[in-house]
Amino acid sequence: MVIAAAILVADLNHLLEYLFITLAIVVLTRQIASRNRRLARTSLDFPILLLLGWVLISVFSATDFAYSFSEWRKLFAHILMFFLMVNFISEEVQVKRILGAFVVGMFLMSIYGIVEFFLANGSLVEQWHQRTLRADALTSEYHWFSTYLMMGLPIVMVWALSTNHREWRFVLVVTLVVATFALFLTYTRGAWIAVAVQACVLVTLKGPNVMKIVLAGMLVFALGTLIVAIMQNEPKNASEKHGSMEAEGDTMNLSTLWCRIHIWELGIKDVIERPIAGWGYGTKTFARKYHDIHISRCPPQLHNIHSSYGDFAFGAGIPALCFFLWLLLRILRTFWTGFLSGSSEFQRMLALGLLLMTVGMIIRITFDVMFLGMLAVLFWMLAGLFFGLQRILNPADLPSSRVM
């Protein structure tokens, strides 16, 4: 519960990592001491093993062995959180408590981010175009904060729709409103798109026909407005007198998208050159290789390849990307099955919330390397909650779910 509530507080990251390691040791010790219990198996075991194994093999041909191996150890530790949760969960109430702590932490961080934004003289009107100030709360920066909110919002939405507890529903609705406003203040377009898709999927699966028609109309109107705003904005920033950093700061300017496309072109050429083992797992490998490259009208520093898919392919080769995609597909399939045939209302609710979370993450990591650090720990922790709950409520489903 402590980890779930404070997982993205930057100043507590190392402390939470030590707590996580301690919990892993405790759970492993408990499993060993209980001779009639073994470590639980899941439908993700095989793709996880292939992903970890291939990335480890690719490390031996990396341009910087020590760095890539340290990044692999982080990947292993993140996935370890998943197996910790699978083996730790023993009853449904534990899942509710952990998710409840996560919702409370999300609410408090959203409040902090909003207050911090306005205390720093943030303006809704001015910031809409020039993103010189963006909410980041207690996280390391706004990209992390927006991705954190994107992961939590669908769980809050689905829980608010399904709970019969009036007081808790009030908390969830307030959290939904506050967190959505905080997400807006991050001015992170990739997260906005991900949440919009999540809302569309939720309405498609659970909403009445009238709501679907209204949503379709809103999307058409929003898309039309966005296109008009972009078309009106491009000529204004077309002249060379506007620097690349100013264009990057404009919400309606597509310069950052074109920069990403140029960066992806560089990455694709490198993947074609070394398609099997890649150049070295880790986000800094790309930045080191292109530390002296400058693309016209783009920020002077290329921090990474700006795509988690590209990062896997560039760093560990095409096989690593295939294993990662296979892993995401299995996760989606498990959540979809849980939503359709879960044995309890809470299990179906959790499956739907996590399905939407994963859909949002798939979109979000297309534009940035966000599947790392404490965000990855959070993803694996939330996914592990469902698999742990599935082990309790539907143990017979685990072997059959391995077949794809």
Give the domain range for residue 280. Answer: 2-26+38-393
DSSP state of 282: S
* In-domain check, residue 398: no
Work out the average pLDDT over 57-68: 89
Residue 136 has pLDDT above 70, yes or no: yes
* In-domain check, residue 402: no
- Determine how many CB atoms are found less than 10 A away from the CB of residue 188: 28
* In-domain check, residue 47: yes
* In-domain check, residue 32: no
Work out the average pLDDT over 143-164: 90
- Model pLDDT, residue 222: 57
Between residues 71 and 298, which one has the greater pLDDT? 71
Report the predicted TM-score, pTM, of the whole model to 2 decimal places: 0.85
- Model pLDDT, residue 59: 92
* In-domain check, residue 248: yes
Work out the average pLDDT over 285-307: 71
Distance separating alpha carbons of residues 18 and 85, to the nearest angstrom: 16
* In-domain check, residue 366: yes
Would you give the end-to-end CA distance of the chain in angstroms? 34
* In-domain check, residue 401: no
Mean pLDDT of the chain: 81
* In-domain check, residue 307: yes
- Model pLDDT, residue 50: 94
Q: Which of 76, 23, 37 is nearest to 53 (CA)?
A: 76
* Least confident span in 15-19, 96-100, 352-356: 15-19
Exposed e or buried b for every residue in 332-363, given b needs 16+ CB within 10 A?
eebbebbbeebeeebbbbbbbbbbbbbbbbbb
Phi, psi of 250 (to 5 degrees): -80, 125
Q: Domains in the chain: how many in total? A: 1
Q: Is 315 left (phi over 0), alpha (psi -120 to 50) or beta?
A: alpha
Q: Which tens digits make up the pLDDT trace of 220-236? A: 555 555 555 545 555 44
% of the chain with per-residue pLDDT over 90: 29
